[in-house]
Amino acid sequence: MPKPRLFHVSEEAGIARFEPRPNYRLAGEMVWAVDAAHLVNFLTPRDCPRITFGRGPSTSDEDAARFLGGARRVVAFEAQWLDRVRSCALHIYELPTETFEVEDVGAGYWLSRQAVKPIGVQVESDLLRALAHAGAEVRVLQAFWPLRDAVVNSSLEFSIMLQDRARPRAESEA
């Protein structure tokens, strides 16, 4: 089975070579990439806390109706991030697949223990358009935690990133 197209998303322009670096989840140094199917989860500023979800093989019809409506994928973030999402430019580097091995197939994470030179780069300066083009419905939240908790307790396939950077529960629920 061929490997999918792999990408690294950065706010940094002009990266000519990705060097292996420590990973927060695994021992050793590596270059991290995401596959094309999960790229939509990374089309926000790097530090933006977000909840992304969609239908998975175990998603109930009730949860799909409740959370998705007609959407294929949802990317949700707090309203305080909207201006940053609107003003951020992302550099989407395509990486060669030869040295990468899958780390988490469900999340689309791939790792290489060797340095990697990108084979192309696309600059995306309209992230809301990029999210829509990728098939995501964008939801701007007044409070992060109610949706986060509901999604975690659902049958949806989801990814919650940087929740520690969301407004604290007490502050967002006040």
- What are the sequence ranges of the domains in the chain? 6-161
3-state secondary structure of 171: helix
Sequence-ordered list of residues with C-beta below 8 angstroms from that of 8, at least 6 positions apart, any chain? 15, 18, 31, 32, 33, 34, 92, 93, 95, 118
Reading the block at residue 116, the tokens are 């990697």
Place of tokens 């003003």: 87
Going by C-beta distance under 8 Å and a sequence separation of 6 or more, which residues neighbour residue 79? 140, 141, 142
Q: Could you tell me the strand order of the sheet in which 157-161 lies?
A: 136-141, 73-78, 50-54, 157-161
pLDDT in tens, the chain (174 residues): 688 999 999 999 999 999 999 977 788 999 999 999 999 999 999 999 999 999 999 999 999 999 998 899 999 999 999 999 999 999 999 999 999 999 988 889 999 999 999 999 999 999 999 999 999 999 999 999 999 999 999 999 999 999 999 999 877 555
- By residue count, the chain amounts to 174
pLDDT of residue 23: 78
